[in-house]
Structure 1
Amino acid sequence: MGNRKNEDNLVSQTSQPNAWEIPLEDMDVSLPELFAADSFWPYFERLRKEDPVHYCANSEYGPYWSVTRYEDIMQVDTSHDVYSSEPGITIRAMDEDFTLPMFIAMDQPRHSEQRAAVNPVVGSRNLPNFAELIRERTCGVLDSLPVGETFNWVDKVSIELTTMMLATLFDFPFEERSKLTRWSDVATAIPGFGIVDTEEQRRAELIECLEYFTELWNQRVNGEPGNDMISMLAHGEATRDMQPLEYLGNLVLLIVGGNDTTRNSMTGGVLALNQFPAEYDKLRANPKLIPSMVSEVIRWQTPLAHMRRRATVDTMLGGKHIKAGDKVVMWYVSGNRDESVFENPDQLIIDRPQVRKHLSFGYGIHRCMGSHLAELQLRILWEEIMQRFDRVEVMGEPVRIASSFVKGYSELQVKLHPLR
Structure 2
Amino acid sequence: MTNNAVAQAVKDHAQSVPLDQIDVSHPDLWVSDSHWPYFERLRREDPVHYCRESLFGPYWSITKYNDIMAVDTNHKVFSSEAALGGILIDDQTPELTMPNFISMDPPKHDAQRKAISPAVSPTNLEKLEPLIRERAGKILDELPRGEVFDWVDRVSIELTSQMLATLFDFPFERRRKLTEWSDLATMTPGPDMPVKTYEEKFARAAEVLEAFTALWNERVNVPPRGDFISMMAHSEAYRNMSPHAFLGNVILLIVGGNDTTRNTITGSMFALNQNPDQYQKLRDNPSLIPSMVSETIRWQTPLAHMRRTTLEDIEFGGKLIKKGEKVVMWYVSGNRDEEVIENPNAYIIDRERPRNHMSFGYGIHRCVGNRLAELQLKIVWEEILRRFPVIEVVGEPERVPSSFVKGYKNLPVRIPN
TM-score relative to the length of structure 2: 0.96
Aligned: 1:385 with 2:384: yes
Secondary structure, aligned partner of 1:308 = strand
Aligned: 1:71 with 2:66: yes
**1:209 counterpart letter in structure 2:** V
Question: What is the alpha-carbon distance in structure 2 between the residues aligned to residue 5 and residue 166 of structure 1?
Answer: 42
Secondary structure, aligned partner of 1:355 = coil
Q: CA deviation at 1:200?
A: 3.5
Aligned: 1:361 with 2:360: yes
Native 8 Å contact 2:271 2:296 kept in 1: yes
Aligned runs of 1:3-402 on 2, under 5 Å? 18-87=13-82, 88-192=86-190, 193-402=192-401
Identity %: 61
Q: Which runs of 5+ in 2 are unaligned?
A: none
Considering fraction of residues, name the structure with more helix: 2
Native 8 Å contact 1:181 1:259 kept in 2: yes
Question: What is the alpha-carbon distance in structure 2 between the residues aligned to residue 73 and residue 391 of structure 1?
Answer: 38
Question: What is the alpha-carbon distance in structure 1 between the residues aligned to residue 310 and residue 344 of structure 2?
Answer: 29
**2:79 counterpart letter in structure 1:** S
Q: Which runs of 5+ in 1 are unaligned?
A: 7-11
Question: What is the alpha-carbon distance in structure 1 between the residues aligned to residue 93 and residue 231 of structure 2?
Answer: 28
Question: What is the alpha-carbon distance in structure 2 between the residues aligned to residue 363 and residue 60 of structure 1?
Answer: 27
C-alpha root-mean-square deviation of aligned residues, in Å?
Answer: 1.8
Q: Deviations over 1:192-232 (max 9, x none)?
A: 34342343332222111101111111101111111100011
Structure 1 residues 84 and 128 mapped into 2: Cα distance closer, same or farther (>3 Å)?
same
Question: What is the alpha-carbon distance in structure 2 between the residues aligned to residue 195 and residue 5 of structure 1?
Answer: 32
Q: Which of 313-322 and 171-180 deviates more?
A: 313-322
Secondary structure, aligned partner of 2:245 = helix
Q: CA deviation at 1:240?
A: 2.0
Native 8 Å contact 2:390 2:415 kept in 1: yes
Task: Show the counterpart of 1:408.
Answer: 407
Native 8 Å contact 1:394 1:412 kept in 2: yes
Question: What is the alpha-carbon distance in structure 1 between the residues aligned to residue 5 and residue 208 of structure 2?
Answer: 34
Question: What is the alpha-carbon distance in structure 2 between the residues aligned to residue 144 and residue 101 of structure 1?
Answer: 40
**2:57 counterpart letter in structure 1:** G
**1:223 counterpart letter in structure 2:** V
Q: Deviations over 1:350-385 (max 9, x none)?
A: 001111010000010000000000000000000000
Q: CA deviation at 1:286?
A: 0.5
Native 8 Å contact 1:13 1:39 kept in 2: no
Native 8 Å contact 1:296 1:348 kept in 2: yes
Native 8 Å contact 1:85 1:309 kept in 2: yes
Native 8 Å contact 1:5 1:38 kept in 2: no
Question: What is the alpha-carbon distance in structure 1 between the residues aligned to residue 380 and residue 140 of structure 2?
Answer: 9
Question: What is the alpha-carbon distance in structure 1 between the residues aligned to residue 267 and residue 342 of structure 2?
Answer: 20
Question: What is the number of residues matched between the two proteins?
Answer: 412
Native 8 Å contact 2:11 2:37 kept in 1: no
Q: CA deviation at 1:98?
A: 1.0
**1:389 counterpart letter in structure 2:** F
Secondary structure, aligned partner of 1:403 = coil
Question: What is the alpha-carbon distance in structure 1 between the residues aligned to residue 125 and residue 5 of structure 2?
Answer: 38
Secondary structure, aligned partner of 2:390 = strand
Structure 1 residues 396 and 408 mapped into 2: Cα distance closer, same or farther (>3 Å)?
same
Task: Show the counterpart of 1:9.
Answer: none
Question: What is the alpha-carbon distance in structure 2 between the residues aligned to residue 323 and residue 73 of structure 1?
Answer: 17
Q: Deviations over 1:114-168 (max 9, x none)?
A: 1111110011221101000000000000000001111000000000000000000
Native 8 Å contact 2:335 2:359 kept in 1: yes
Question: What is the alpha-carbon distance in structure 1 between the residues aligned to residue 234 and residue 275 of structure 2?
Answer: 48
Question: What is the alpha-carbon distance in structure 2 between the residues aligned to residue 16 and residue 343 of structure 1?
Answer: 21
Secondary structure, aligned partner of 2:413 = strand
Secondary structure, aligned partner of 1:55 = strand
Structure 1 residues 78 and 133 mapped into 2: Cα distance closer, same or farther (>3 Å)?
same
Question: What is the alpha-carbon distance in structure 1 between the residues aligned to residue 30 and residue 4 of structure 2?
Answer: 13
Secondary structure, aligned partner of 2:415 = strand
Q: Which of 17-26 and 401-410 deviates more?
A: 17-26
Native 8 Å contact 1:4 1:397 kept in 2: no
Question: What is the alpha-carbon distance in structure 2 between the residues aligned to residue 244 and residue 394 of structure 1?
Answer: 43
TM-score relative to the length of structure 1: 0.95
